[in-house]
Structure 1
Amino acid sequence: MRFISTYVHGIIDYAAAAALALAPNVFRFARLGGAPVRTLRGLSVFAVLYSVFTDYEWGAVKVLSMRTHLKIDAAFGLFLLAAPRALKLAGLDARARRTYEGFGLFSLAASLLTKTEVPCPSVVCMRSEDEEAVPARPAQPAAGTG
């Protein structure tokens, strides 16, 4: 059952990206440096980029559909789960490994629990504070009128 709205998912996206970047310091494995830290910080940048390019309430460029975004989230989660073993991240201690696994499970859960349809995609309409929904492109006046 998908119950997380795309609006809330967008908030989660940007918060999780910030958390990924800060995780090595928060969980005290930044001292390891190298691949474990660079990988999380690189993934943080990637998460922001594909969120910016998603056609949902928090996207700016709106190229990726929400379904595509959620597929990327799922792949992102699987990568985070597999990375400590697959990449043989040197010097990965238990805290770092659990951090990767925690973010991986979180990303998978978000991908499976978020609604796939944006209530009002940018191509259809835009919202303002005063109106519920208006056409994204106002109707053009008929030729020869004012």
Structure 2
Amino acid sequence: MRFISTRTHGMIDYLMGALLIVAPYILGFADGTTAQWIPQIVGAALIGAALLTNYELGVVKMIPMPVHLFLDVAAGALLAVSPWLFGFADRVFWPHLILGLLEIGAGLTTRTTPETAAATAAGHTATVADRRH
């Protein structure tokens, strides 16, 4: 069930990206290890992808929304399993797991078409149909 609008998802993208970048400092695991760098790299990637996505809050609009959502799910999965994959689960894992699962959830529950694109397509279809009559 996809109930999050692409506009809302864009806001989530920028907030989640910023949160992932500052989380190691706020939560006390900014120690220069993989535990710190994984969320920061994922956060920077989320912001970069948001800037390049073809939705309301994108700047360059190169990445189609379905591709963006796939990248979100993949990034969330990497973040969620990273404590065990990279061997730091004995020190910290909750932030990575929780934020990773939230990112997966956002990717799976966001609509695949921006509201403006859907409205434009619907308007264009009506216009073409009107011209036939």
Q: Name the TM-score, length of structure 1 as normaliser.
A: 0.76
Shift of 1:87: 1.8
Instruction: Give the corresponding residue for 1:43.
Output: 42
Instruction: Give 1 or 2 for the bigger CA radius of gyration.
Output: 1
Q: Give the corresponding residue for 1:105.
A: 101
Question: Residue by residue, what CA displacement relative to the aligned partner does 1:6-31 show, whole Å, maximum 9, x if unpaired?
Answer: 0000000000001001101111222x
Let me know the Cα RMSD of the aligned residues. Answer: 1.8
1:65 maps to amino acid? P
Letter in 2 for 1:18: A
**TM-superposed deviation, 1:115:** 0.6
Tell me whether 1:72 sits opposite 2:68 in the alignment.
Answer: no
| Residues 21-60 of structure 1 aligned to structure 2 (within 5 Å) | 21-30=21-30, 32-60=31-59
Contact 1:36–1:92 (Cα < 8 Å) also in 2? no
Q: What is the CA–CA distance in structure 1 between the aligned matches of 2:49 and 2:36, rounded to whole Å?
A: 20
Identity of aligned residues (%): 32
Structure 1 gap ranges (5+): 126-132, 134-146
1:86 is displaced (CA, Å) by 1.2
More helix as a share of residues: 2
Task: Report how far residue 33 of structure 1 moved.
Answer: 2.4
Gaps of 5+ in 2: 124-133
Aligned residues: 120
